[in-house]
A and B are shown apart, each in its own frame.
Chain A
Amino acid sequence: MLDRRDFLKLGGATAFAALFGGCDRIPKKIIPFVIPPENTALGESLWYASACRQCPAGCGIVVRVSEGRAKKIEGNPLHPVNRGKLCARGQAGLQALYHPERIGRPLKLSGPRGSGKFAETSWEEALSILLTGLKKLQAAAPASLLMLTEPMRGHRNLVAARFMRAFGSPHRIAWDPFGQDALLAANEAVFGIRDVPEYDIANARYLLSFSGDFLETGISPVHYGRAYGQMRQSRPTVRGKFVHFGPRLSMTAANADVFLPIAPGSEGAAALGIAHVMVREKLTPSAAAAASLWAAGLSRMTPEAVGKATGLLPSDIEAVAHEFAGNAPGIAMAGDGAAGCTNGTYNLAGAALLNALAGNVGRQGGISFPNRLAAFSRFGADAALLLPPPESGFASVRDSVEKMRKGTYRMALLSGSTNPAFSLPAPLKFGEALLSVPQVVSFASFLDETASLSDLVLPVPTFLEEWGDDIAPAGHAGDALSMLQPVVDPFRDTRQMPDILIAAARELGGAVAAALPWAGFRECLEKSYAGMGVNLEAARRDGGVFPGKTPAPRTAPKAQRPSLPVAAEAEFEGDPARYPLFLHVYPSIAHSDGRGANLSWLQELPDPVTTAVWRNWVEVNPKTAETLGLADGDGVVVASPFGSMEAFVVVHPATAPGVVALPLGQGHTRYGTNAANRGGNPFSLLPVKADRGSGAPARQSTRVSLAKAKLAGSLVRTVNVEGQWKYENIL
């Protein structure tokens, strides 16, 4: 619709075009001055509340919509997770909505499987292919249906789970390369609660981080980032101190007051060294009462012994222990770098034990375990389906690959952005195994590596066009519900996966239809929340239901008497003579596991530490680089016993010697022009290894070698544009 204001604007534009006819490509809407003249008025917009699905953190968003088009995503100020703030990936959600390469119609394979050649087809035909397959399976062997998705929460998980259960197949798997298995296992061992804790960083006086890049990636980066700002500067007399242990100076580590480099996989030892000093000196009441830990083996973790294992100075361990104990409340947290080792659970349990010893559990400025699911008790046994534990599903995925090869599955339904054909270790050969499944149907917005292997692709809307609900895994008292609503009319001819499943169930009839008794997913949500007494209109206006009165957190049964984590050493594949360097991989702040790589805003967001854009790199310590005869910007082949890839060297002055670091996320072969062919995929270097305590994928578990190679192109970085940009000059 053209209203009067726009008519005037366009009129102005035409007059302008007539005057300066020689200029080509006059923009459609011209407001040529930065400060336009008085008579051009800004149009009014509407703001719709919803929730972000660019990563699993589940932040609340508000979206500016002007003339039916989404223009800008901002954080929802009412949402307890992010309070109006949003990260770069969330901001870039618009580019997924308007992506030129989005799948707009159902696609049917038109070449050999895996060729990536598809032809558009109608929804009628696509759905009939899906239904024919399902009906055949239902009659013959319902248990040979596989559903492999990203981790889902809320009612879309409920629908998927009920569908599979009623259909009669136990093979429902959710794959998340950054699942929190090790954290769950560690908290179960130390506190007796298998859950993700709530870290009250904002009120902490002392923050210990073990290889946890919590300000970049991880459970809830915006929530923690906001709390970090408050920890530093919102209290008149207290500025929280932040100490980081880890093998690499990440962006998070760069923010620490003290960064202490340690050997990869030695985070647990470092934590127990601190615990040793706390118990030996009886620095806190809990530590004084922990004689049983001392006897169980903590007495052996002397600062000297730990110093040898980690590379730390014994004096640093003593100092950190005294400071941590003396500056309560504090928090010890460990992240992906520590969890992704073969001793991940041990590393995370070490950090958890420090919280118990310092008496940080259940207090303001410490950690607590919220009472989740209180809002959903009405669902009984199905309540857990609305907020499944954030596990990786690695063991199930590996098992499913075996089963694919054995021919257990006749049909597979795939969905989600975790892209297993890209984000699983290459030696697992997931893609090859998937090709042996007779029929593969993907629910996808983009043709990524996984969807390209299917023979039918059903286009799904982006999160800005769909109905839904969500419960964030962290950042609230456990009872905050987010509501998703379409902020724009569906931009492509898409259908939501739960809608397709509900429609399919109706056709299949019997138990399946009875399990999903709704006309569509929207009705499912509305009936469910109406039954809970939720005012849906208000919930959609506010972006969710955020109760002011919060339920009291759960008590941790073992917090007073924690047990000592079972010591475990990190194992690394590869002969040290042939592969002399430890490989440290970390999720990139822009692309995470690779899902952001197709958005140009994120490709062009300089990496915080290296300032590199559009391509992959490998971070090498200056001394290591010198020994290997490598200079900054050189091309290298990074080789592990499992694969090799090309990358450009970035000499990184604060990576531990003997360690090279690679960001995950680049290295796509499919997934559109922005993503494909931008260097190698670090997942291809990784062994199929798991954390012994939890079964999570152990990414930090191989050694590599670097060999100089001539590569086409170069790595683009944005520092020192003009040369005069030296730190000394700006102050």
Chain B
Amino acid sequence: MKHKWAMVIDMDRCTGCGACVVACVAENNTPTAGEEEAGKGRLMQWLRVSRFWKKEGEDTRAIFVPTPCMHCEKAPCEIVCPVYATYHDEDDQVNAMVYNRCIGTRYCANNCPYSVRVFNWWNHQWEKPLDEQLNPDLSVRSRGVMEKCTYCIQRIRRGKETALKEGRKIRDGEVVPACAQTCPPGAILFGDLLDPDSAVSRMVKDPRLFKLMEHLGTEPKTAYLKKQKGPGR
């Protein structure tokens, strides 16, 4: 069964609260970098809420852009990996990583225009008993390995297994990544573009749709809906 998973983030709903960031950390066994490493730009979060200052006439506005992996269809990270550690998965159309193939060249991160890849500079430790929290559905990554948002592939797999067991197709909304699950204002929508009736399939026809750095031709599958401009003053 083939799928084409995609995410649509409605910036008119997003408040910038960061619930998605912590949900992602909890779901995906993302280590804590600590202040010193964070100062070197080595935060390990797979999803960040980028904040931009935007000048609008007299006013300065802050704009929040939740930025997970874009899962590009023409992914710049894939073509530079010398060992095929990052590749395009055929069944799910996600941009996936094989951790134990990764040799740590970091070419992929260098070539990612969205800066969403994070590198394990260390063997991160979970001080006991914090390791009890680790999600058993996926591994922790060791030193020298690149990692990034997987669209919560373990949840996709669980959805597929359940559907297979029950002899049916995956229902729209059945597979939800941790960020979309928790998002209080419901800004993150996730689904299968090959399902013509799914909510994302409808949302990608929204005239507000745009993609980050569309001009680069990476064809991201994570898309955004523009913040609607209110009537202003």
Contact = CB atoms under 8 A, between A and B. Distances in A.
A714 B41 CA distance: 13
B187 A653 contact: no
B51 A84 contact: no
Counting chain B CB atoms within 10 Å of each CB, which of A34, A99, A242 scores highest?
A34
Contacts of A222: 19, 184
Contact of B13 (A69, A229, A319, A608): A229
A233 B12 contact: yes
Interface string A217-241: 0000110011011101100000101
Nearest to A488: B132
B182 A91 contact: yes
B71 interface: no
B231 to A, nearest CB: 7
Interface string A476-514: 000000000000000100000000000000000000000
A69 B130 CA distance: 11
A725 B50 contact: yes
B202 to A, nearest CB: 13
Interface in B1-35: 10, 12-13, 15-19, 21-23, 25-27, 32-35
B127 A100 contact: yes
B216 to A, nearest CB: 10
Contact of A609 (B50, B51, B113): B51
Contacts of A614: 34-35, 38
Given A41-B161, A74-B181, A608 B128 contact: no
Contacts of A1: none
B129 A42 contact: no
B129 A252 contact: no
A295 B217 CA distance: 66
Interface stretch (A25-33, A274-282, A517-525): A25-33
A270 to B, nearest CB: 15
Interface in A290-343: 316, 319
Contacts of B33: 604
Nearest to A101: B127
A141 interface: no
Interface in A256-271: 257-259
Contacts, number: 252
Interface stretch (A117-125, A437-445, A568-576, A715-723): A715-723
A140 interface: no
B15 to A, nearest CB: 5
A391 interface: no
A72 B22 contact: no
Contacts of A611: 51
B185 A229 contact: yes
Interface in B129-164: 129-140, 142, 150, 153-154, 157-158, 161
A27 B142 contact: yes
Nearest to A67: B136
A445 to B, nearest CB: 14
A215 B98 contact: no
Nearest to B216: A729
Interface string A59-81: 00000001101111111000000
A91 B130 contact: no
Nearest to B154: A42
Contact of A606 (B49, B59, B98, B138): B49
A726 interface: yes
Interface in A577-634: 589-590, 600-606, 608-609, 611, 613-615
B72 to A, nearest CB: 14
A326 to B, nearest CB: 12
B35 A716 contact: yes
Contacts of B130: 95, 98-100
Nearest to A100: B127
A727 interface: yes
Contacts of B140: 27
Contacts of B167: none
Interface residues of A, number: 95
Contact of B213 (A42, A255, A730): A730
Nearest to A66: B136
B209 interface: no
B133 A69 contact: yes
Nearest to B27: A72
Contacts of A27: 139-140, 142
Nearest to B138: A31
A88 interface: yes
A609 B50 CA distance: 9
Nearest to B112: A722
Contacts of A36: 157
A139 interface: no
B41 A654 contact: no
A233 B38 contact: no
Contacts of B22: 88, 91-92, 601-602, 605
A35 B153 contact: yes
Nearest to A654: B60
A95 B127 CA distance: 11
A71 B138 CA distance: 12
A381 interface: no
A249 B16 CA distance: 13
Counting chain A CB atoms within 10 Å of each CB, which of B35, B41, B92, B184 scores highest?
B184
B99 A608 contact: no
B222 to A, nearest CB: 12
Counting chain A CB atoms within 10 Å of each CB, which of B13, B113, B135 scores highest?
B13
A604 B184 contact: no
Contact of A230 (B92, B139, B186): B186
Contacts of B15: 215, 225, 228-229, 251-252, 255
A479 to B, nearest CB: 23
Interface string B61-96: 111110000000000000000000000010010001
Contact of B157 (A42, A601, A608): A42
A43 interface: yes
A589 B51 CA distance: 15
Nearest to A102: B129
B210 A731 contact: yes
A714 B39 contact: yes
20 contacts: A31-B137, A31-B138, A32-B139, A34-B98, A34-B99, A34-B150, A42-B157, A85-B182, A85-B183, A91-B19, A100-B127, A233-B228, A601-B22, A601-B25, A603-B35, A605-B21, A608-B16, A716-B35, A716-B38, A725-B50
Given A226-B186, A259-B61, 13 more contacts: A34-B97, A41-B161, A42-B158, A71-B133, A86-B19, A88-B18, A255-B15, A589-B17, A604-B32, A609-B16, A713-B35, A730-B212, A731-B214
**9 A-B pairs with the lowest CB-CB distances in the bound complex, closest first:** A229-B185, A257-B230, A225-B184, A254-B62, A229-B13, A614-B35, A727-B52, A88-B22, A653-B60
